[in-house]
């Protein structure tokens, strides 16, 4: 039987990078078959042995860093330097997950409380089994590794379905894992289009799906998962805001804003898309921002738009924004497929598509606000809630704004810096999804809590869970509870 294939293309040149199979439902089912057996073996190794093997995998990836960066460059079009940074971040997360899984997930005693004085209580987090990961194309190593590394460290086997735009990277990552763990296929990659991901999500033996992509696609994946009540962690993009307070370092703010908005051609889920600047510093900030933007060029400082269909959305948003707002840098002519030069538009109405919808291109809207409080209110008036940025020299004020920002993550006087801290959880609220990867929360996301209580001795005169319980025992219970909990605390 002939296997259908599809090509991955270099979006900058249109050249074929590789050809890969469109794996069928049977092929995905067979991969999950193998993963089930591998999961039992991998879980049985225990934390120490998994840690050793994952650190070996980390070393293999590191030794192949240049090769992988070249492949990311070919399949996404992003500069090799940016691809290298992405892989380095993935390496640090793999290292953290491997080293911290025993402490976060391992068995530990917990207090049984006064009512359980005769009990010993333990808590641990056990592997789920097979985890399915459906990855994106914009950061084809860093983003899925935030699920893959943590799922593996938690003791699960992984079946990874990479984006059809970047399948070669996913295949290579699994090949390198096999070099570190040759005994069983603990980490496999299946390739194909959207239907291949649906086959994975619908398999009842997959115990959790980790998805990264658009909100609309997440809803379809959730519908597939619902058939078997398969839980899902979903990261669905954002419309992240950048607030410049009156006392901000304007040079640093403009530099960070520009990089957060334009790097990777704006194709970053936590990238800057909306900028709110306090009136007192609006003019000097805009001068600094526009001067810096004038020297940034698509095809030189960042790559092309990887997904061709996104160009229509970017063009629509630019057209609408420039009709109602003031173009500071670029405009409709900035779209020269497959590249888009930087676009900065001021005074765009808050109900416009360029402000409400995810653009996923090198564009930003900028708005003047009375103060930081108004900026915060505008920043929070979004269906999305992934990440954001605060620039202020007042540490206390910045922390207050960051805590009040309706996002899963906020950076202060830096941009997207939380992604480089492995101990911090990554994820959003609202249309940006739910669940967390990275950090201790990310490890626990791919494990199931197991609670055990063991009676060490019988409490004399307090056999409460028996049909032989008497009135005296119940009275003693009431007195004890009244003593422990009946007094008002002041």
- Distance separating alpha carbons of residues 414 and 249, to the nearest angstrom: 11
Which candidate in 225, 236, 257, 269 is catalytic?
Answer: 269
236 is catalytic: no
How many residues make up the chain in this entry? 490
235 is catalytic: yes
Which candidate in 235, 273, 358, 445 is catalytic?
Answer: 235
Give catalytic residue positions. 235, 269
């Amino acid at each position: 039987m002939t296997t259908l294939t599809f090509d991955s293309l270099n979006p900058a040149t249109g050249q074929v990078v590789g050809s890969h199979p469109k794996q069928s439902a049977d092929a995905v089912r067979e991969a999950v078959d193998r993963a089930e057996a591998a999961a039992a073996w991998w879980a049985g190794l225990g934390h120490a042995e998994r840690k050793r093997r994952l650190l070996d995998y980390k070393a293999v990836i590191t030794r192949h860093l240049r090769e992988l960066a070249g492949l990311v460059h070919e399949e996404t079009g992003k500069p090799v330097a940016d691809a290298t940074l992405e892989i380095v971040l993935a390496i640090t997360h793999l290292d953290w997950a491997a080293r911290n899984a025993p402490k976060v997930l391992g068995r530990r005693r917990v207090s049984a409380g006064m009512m359980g004085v005769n009990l010993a209580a333990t808590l641990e987090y056990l592997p789920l089994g097979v985890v399915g990961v459906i990855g994106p194309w914009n950061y084809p190593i860093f983003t899925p590794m935030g699920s893959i590394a943590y799922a593996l460290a938690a003791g699960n086997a992984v079946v990874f379905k990479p984006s059809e735009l970047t399948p070669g990277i996913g295949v290579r990552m699994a090949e390198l894992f096999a070099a570190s763990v040759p005994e069983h296929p603990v980490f496999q990659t299946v390739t194909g289009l959207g239907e291949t991901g649906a086959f994975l999500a619908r398999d009842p033996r997959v115990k959790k799906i980790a998805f990264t992509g658009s909100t609309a696609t997440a809803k379809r994946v959730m519908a597939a998962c619902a058939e078997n009540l398969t839980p899902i962690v979903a990261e669905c993009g954002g419309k992240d805001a950048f607030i410049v307070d009156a006392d901000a370092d304007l040079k640093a703010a403009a530099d960070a804003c520009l990089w957060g908005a334009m790097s990777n051609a704006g194709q970053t889920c936590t990238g800057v898309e909306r900028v709110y600047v306090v009136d007192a510093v609006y003019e000097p900030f805009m001068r600094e921002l526009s001067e810096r933007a004038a020297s940034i060029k698509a095809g030189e400082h960042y790559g092309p738009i990887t997904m061709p269909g996104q160009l229509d959305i970017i063009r629509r948003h630019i057209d609408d924004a420039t009709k109602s707002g003031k173009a500071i840098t670029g405009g409709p002519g900035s779209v020269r497929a497959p590249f888009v030069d930087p676009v900065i538009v001021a005074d765009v109405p808050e109900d416009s598509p360029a402000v409400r919808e995810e653009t996923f291109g090198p564009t930003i809207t900028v708005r003047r606000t009375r103060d930081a409080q108004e900026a915060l209110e505008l920043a929070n008036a979004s269906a999305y809630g992934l990440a954001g940025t605060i620039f202020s020299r007042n540490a206390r004020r910045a922390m207050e704004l960051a805590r009040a920002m309706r996002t899963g993550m906020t950076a202060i006087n830096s941009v997207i810096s939380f992604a480089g801290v492995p101990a911090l959880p990554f994820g959003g609220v609202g249309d940006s999804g739910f669940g967390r990867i990275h950090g201790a929360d990310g490890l626990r996301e791919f494990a199931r809590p197991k609670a055990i209580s063991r009676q060490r001795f019988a409490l004399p005169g307090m056999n409460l869970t028996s049909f032989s319980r008497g009135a005296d025992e119940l009275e003693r219970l009431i007195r004890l509870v009244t003593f422990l909990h009946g007094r008002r605390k002041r």
